[in-house]
Amino acid sequence: MLKPDHGLDEFSKSLMSLNIVGKDDEKDNDLEDLEMQTVRYKPEGIDKLCRTTKFTKKELQLMYRGFKQECPSGLVNEETFKEIYSQFFPQGDSSHYAHFVFNSFDTDHNGSITFEEFVMGLSVLSRGTLNDKLNWAFNLYDINGDGYITREEMLSIIQSIYDMMGKYSEPTSEDITPGEHVERVFQKMDLNKDGVVTIDEFLDSCRSDETITKSMHVFDTIL
């Protein structure tokens, strides 16, 4: 079974090398930039972000410095997000998977990711509980946001992962297609056999799979 966070671990680690997460080696007065920023998009106050995320003030200041360097406008559109993703998965086509991840971060669905949306998502992935991370993964698979995962939605995500990993996809004991892979996973998760996977079924199935629960901790050392 492909892990719910498959592909995101490498991307998350790459944030450091892209300077999305800033380095603590610049002038002290630059650390206050988050509270004084006057570019086209102005983020929320740092104190509010301290309350709504699991990051400290210093961590948020460092992250904003890196975010500002990569995205001077204060916003990340989908094309930029896809370009960043493609740098770390050159062996395949990451555009479809990046599209799904972008939508999960773009919580107001206006076509761009703000600094707040970025750190809220990163807070869940790097500091959240197992339930927080599994809920995030469920929402990634629940493409239309109706509270259920269908076979078609699961196939869209898993196919995008196969495409992204390309020739470096993890070897399996059998050479199966994405559709066959989805069918096996879906049969395991659809506990009441009603043709959809609910959040409770998803959580129960993932919690009972030690490989998945361990994989959800890959983000804990991003910062």
pLDDT, tens digit (0-9, with 9 covering 90-100), for 61-103: 988 888 888 888 889 999 999 998 888 888 899 999 999 999 9
Asked whether the predicted pLDDT for residue 131 surpasses 50, the reply is: yes
pLDDT category of residue 202 using cuts at 50, 70 and 90: very high
Asked whether the predicted pLDDT for residue 120 surpasses 90, the reply is: yes
State the pLDDT at residue 33.
52
Superfamily the domain 8-24+42-215 falls into: EF-hand (1.10.238.10)
Asked whether the predicted pLDDT for residue 115 surpasses 80, the reply is: yes
pLDDT, tens digit (0-9, with 9 covering 90-100), for 138-170: 999 999 999 999 999 999 999 998 898 886 555
State the pLDDT at residue 84.
84
Asked whether the predicted pLDDT for residue 198 surpasses 90, the reply is: yes
> Number of C-alpha atoms within 13 angstroms, CB side, residue 213?
10
pLDDT category of residue 46 using cuts at 50, 70 and 90: confident
pTM of the model: 0.76
pLDDT category of residue 31 using cuts at 50, 70 and 90: very low
Across all residues in the chain, what is the average pLDDT? 80
Question: What are the residue boundaries of the structural domains of the chain, listed by start?
Answer: 8-24+42-215
Asked whether the predicted pLDDT for residue 111 surpasses 80, the reply is: yes
